[in-house]
A = this chain, B = another copy of it.
Amino acid sequence: MQISEAARRAGLPVKTVRYYADIGLVRPPARTDSNYRDYDSAALAKLVFVRRARDFGFSIPECRELLALYEDRDRSSADVRALAAAHLTEIEEKQRQLAALRDELAHLVNACQGNDRPDCPILDRLEAE
């Protein structure tokens, strides 16, 4: 199938699929006579796999590792678990930081009266050391 259909079925922009081919993450198995990239179902499955992994926040290098694990089913699932667990820790840390940020900003927005007076607690707070 052509790149646009592969992209559509994988839920990715065409540009991104081309990019993944360029960096050697998911290469099409062949080219047509007219030099069009030609994807088969195995390549499509890899694109879907990568799209899902990216949705989970895995970086491209991590996707590469996961794809290697995915392609070699004889490898220990502990490898995959370790990779995902490490990522989970990162996400939870991000979550904590984001929650703190949100709470503080929400407090400031609530405290700011939003009227025409020039003094605003948001600016005061941002300004404070």
Contacts and interface: CB of A to CB of B under 8 A. Distances in A.
What is the predominant secondary structure among interface residues of chain A facing chain B? Answer: helix
Interface of A: 45, 48-49, 52-53, 55-57, 66, 69-70, 73-78, 80-82, 84-85, 87-88, 91-92, 94-95, 98-99, 101-102, 104-106, 108-109, 112-120, 122-123, 126-127, 129
A92 B81 contact: no
Contacts of A105: 56, 84, 87-88, 91
A92 B84 contact: no
A94 B56 CA distance: 13
Contacts of A76: 115-118
A129 B112 CA distance: 46
Contacts of A92: 102
B48 A129 contact: yes
A115 to B, nearest CB: 6
A84 B70 contact: no
Contact of A78 (B115, B127, B129): B115
